[in-house]
Amino acid sequence: MADRLAVGIDIGGTKIAAGVVDEDGRVIARTRRETPTTEPEAVLDAIVEITAEFRAELPVKAVGIGAAGFVDASQSTVLFAPHLAWRHEPLRDRVARRTMLPVMVDNDANTSGWAEWRFGAAQNEPDLVLITLGTGIGGALVIDGLPYRGHFGIAGEFGHMQVVPGGNACECGNLGCWEQYASGRVLGRRAAAAVAEGSPIGRRLAEAAGGPERVEGAHVTPLAESGDEEAIAWIAEVGDWLGVGMANLAAALDPGLFVVGGGVSDAREMLLGPAREAYSRTLTGRGYRSEARIVRAHLGPEAGLIGAADMARLTARRRRPANPAARVRVRAAARSGRSPKRRR
């Protein structure tokens, strides 16, 4: 078991979620703490401390980090993380020097996508398009069983496709990005406006949240689940924009499967039903081509740390080829009669 355990660390703008993960994707130890967003050294210290705590109890052999930002193609440097104050941060080498363990760094959506392909909703699928709906929209691609990062390592930033020319301003500096219409940010914006206006749904949200100052977009889904028609309509509108964006991606990528994760996916069919309808309605060549399946992610908020740990473990064990996914495919393909896409 000793060579099968790895630490996975998922670093977001507000929290660090970490765990020790075995080779079957099971999380056998967990911890969670706030992200010190304004001090890169403090984030580095937190990563090292978390790893040391796990190593005191378990024989972990590698560390995988999923970071909310742009990571270079070598999986070593965080080029830009707007919520973490990292700019060209050589995170892999800095963590490796302090922990004396093999380290892998990737974008958090890529690690989530890998986890869903290996252990979750996309097992035995050759291709995967993962869409993560949180405050914004992240994305990941697995093509023919291999993560696809693009030439510079930044593929999958689907949230910044322009869907409304001259539309809502986005934090990336552009206008009309997809995540301004199909993410948790939309629900948060709607909820804040309703509270400020003192509308009936604003009052209902304030009551559910325990006060108007505590209302967030996340409160919309429970209200919709209770049957609130206006909250249901807000989620359906997000789902409609989600389907339009996926139809655009299908025109470029033609996947067989979309997996939708992130906190907004907790709305389940209230979100995915309208998304499927909009996807079918706007898909290029509709009526003359097969449509991709659209399903909810299986691994929930731990997908990022599970995928990071698995990538790190595979990276630490292999010598060649360079891609950590290739070891899975090569070993599986060697088994007579088995698909190279299957789990070990």
- 123-137 tens-digit pLDDT: 989 889 999 998 889
Instruction: Write the CB contacts of 229 (distance below 8 Å, at least 6 apart in sequence).
Output: none
Closest residue by Cα to residue 144 from 256, 249, 251, 66: 256
CATH class of 2-115+301-333: alpha beta
| Per-residue pLDDT at 57 | 95
Q: Is the pLDDT of residue 324 over 60?
A: no
Element (H, E) at 236: helix 229-253
Question: Which of 292, 199, 209, 205 has the alpha carbon at shortest distance from 253?
Answer: 292
The model scores a pTM over 0.85: yes
CA 172 to CA 169: how far, in whole Å?
Answer: 8
Q: What is the pLDDT of residues 219-257, one digit of tens each?
A: 999 999 999 999 999 999 999 999 999 999 999 999 999
Q: In the CATH scheme, what is the code of domain 126-183+224-297?
A: 3.30.420.40
Could you give the percent of the chain with pLDDT greater than 90? 78
Interatomic CA distance for residues 91 and 77, integer angstroms: 6
Question: Is the CB of residue 262 less than 8 Å from the CB of residue 184?
Answer: yes
Q: What average pLDDT is seen over the chain?
A: 90
Rounded to 5°, angle at Cα 265 from 178 and 341: 95
Indicate if the pLDDT at residue 327 is higher than 80. no
DSSP for 57-86, written as a single string: TS----EEEEESSEE-TTS--EEEETTTTE
Quote the pLDDT of residue 325: 52
Supply the DSSP symbol for 1.
-
What tokens appear for 248 in the block? Answer: 């655009």
* Alpha-helical segments (H) within 24-173: 40-55, 91-99, 108-119
What's the pLDDT tens digit per position in 166-181? 999 998 889 999 999 9
pLDDT single digits (tens) 53-77: 999 999 999 999 999 889 998 889 9
| Residue 157: strand, helix, or coil | coil
Domains 2-115+301-333 and 126-183+224-297 in one fold: yes
Q: Are 344 and 331 in contact (CB under 8 A)?
A: yes
Q: What pLDDT score was predicted for residue 64?
A: 97
Q: In a 10 Å sphere around its CB, with 0-12 CB exposed, 13-18 middle and 19+ buried, how is residue 211 labelled?
A: exposed
Residues contacting 207, CB < 8 A, separation 6+: none
Instruction: Check whether 332 has a pLDDT greater than 80.
Output: no
pLDDT tens readout for residues 15-38: 899 999 999 999 999 999 988 877
The residue ranges of every structural domain in the chain are 2-115+301-333, 126-183+224-297
| Dist. CA 100–CA 79, nearest whole Å | 23
